Amino acid sequence: MKIDFGNKNKKLLIIAVMLLIIGQSLIGSISLEVLFNLTALQIIFAGIFISVFVSFPMTTLSDTLRITKESFLKEIDYAEDIHKIHSLAVKVKKDGLLSIQSDIDREEDIFLKDGMILLNDYKKSEVIKDILQKDIESRETNLFKPYNVFKMISHVAPSLGLIGTLVGLIGLLSNINQPYEIMNNMAAALVSTLYGSLIANFIAVPIMVRIKEYIDKNVLRYNIITEGILLIAQNDSARNVFDKMNVMLKEGERLQYPGNGMNERNSQLHELKI
């Protein structure tokens, strides 16, 4: 699938401009000395790390970093999968199922490789469907773990901001006769709430939405592959395999059939007559 770098660059430029506007409004309203309050930073970030490390195993946290990175950098290439499965369908029609063994050995994508192995093992289409659907459910569950991490951060960060506010107010009241300490504690109190809201609404929630979109794209890819494998198992024609996978894409993303569609359809009709 072709990546539109022009649109990506425009998007990044818009985000950068909006961040500059927000930064300018913050700095214009609050001095840098007050905005970067060490006490507030310690409460918010230490609290987030403690909450996350207590709640999730290290494997989930490492997967969160990996999947978050992939959601920004990795493009899901439906076209490659559709063309690859169409080629398998043509090969199976021509030379039989055993001919795809070399393709299985070369395939690097685990999900597609597992589907090809099931197909090559002569399992019934119902069995293949059941196995692949369970595989999709398991993969979807694993992909949702990073989503849950950021969901927790979006809930915890504002609460920690309120805790920072309470700590600042307690410090304010305990130093009521010391004007300098009153100002420091008041700054920590208010800035903590600001930090919590910014982390929740400008970092955690947007990343959650991005991960959810990445999950949806992966699940669609798995369903497209599953549909193609099942159609091959049912001995459907190569053209039908391609078309039924292709219509699962959005209308503007659908692919042009790579082969001579009329000849394949005539061949299919000839097979039916026989």
SS (H, E, C) the chain: CCCCHHHHHHHHHHHHHHHHHHHHHHHHHCCHHHHCCHHHHHHHHHHHHHHHHHHCCHHHHHHHHHHHHHHHHCCCCHHHHHHHHHHHHHHHHHHCHHHHHHHHHHCCCHHHHHHHHHHHCCCCHHHHHHHHHHHHHHHHHHHHHHHHHHHHHHHHHHHHHHHHHHHHHHHHHHCCCCHHHHHHHHHHHHHHHHHHHHHHHHHHHHHHHHHHHHHHHHHHHHHHHHHHHHHHHCCCCHHHHHHHHHCCCCHHHCCCCCCCHHHHHHHHHHHHHC
pLDDT at 223: 97
**236: nearest Cα among 93, 78, 83, 91:** 93
pLDDT at 38: 80
Q: What is the pTM of this model?
A: 0.81
Number of residues written out for the chain: 274
Least confident of 23-27, 78-82, 265-269: 265-269
Cβ proximity of 164 and 43 under 8 Å: yes
pLDDT at 127: 92
Condensed to tens digits (0 to 9), the pLDDT of residues 10-48 reads 766 776 777 677 666 666 666 666 677 787 888 899 999
**Which comes out higher in pLDDT, residue 213 or 12?**
213
Condensed to tens digits (0 to 9), the pLDDT of residues 155-210 reads 999 999 888 888 777 777 776 666 666 666 676 677 888 889 989 998 999 999 99
- Is the pLDDT assigned to residue 269 strictly greater than 50? no
- Is the pLDDT assigned to residue 274 strictly greater than 60? no
Condensed to tens digits (0 to 9), the pLDDT of residues 107-161 reads 999 999 999 999 988 778 899 999 999 999 999 999 999 999 999 999 999 999 8
- Is the pLDDT assigned to residue 80 strictly greater than 90? yes
**Which comes out higher in pLDDT, residue 56 or 19?**
56
pLDDT at 133: 96
How far apart CA 94 and CA 58 sit, in angstroms, is 49
Condensed to tens digits (0 to 9), the pLDDT of residues 220-255 reads 999 999 999 999 999 999 999 999 999 999 998 999
Least confident of 6-10, 65-69, 147-151, 263-267: 263-267
Cβ proximity of 55 and 152 under 8 Å: yes
Residue 259 CB neighbours (<10 A):
13
How far apart CA 245 and CA 86 sit, in angstroms, is 9
**Which comes out higher in pLDDT, residue 8 or 112?**
112
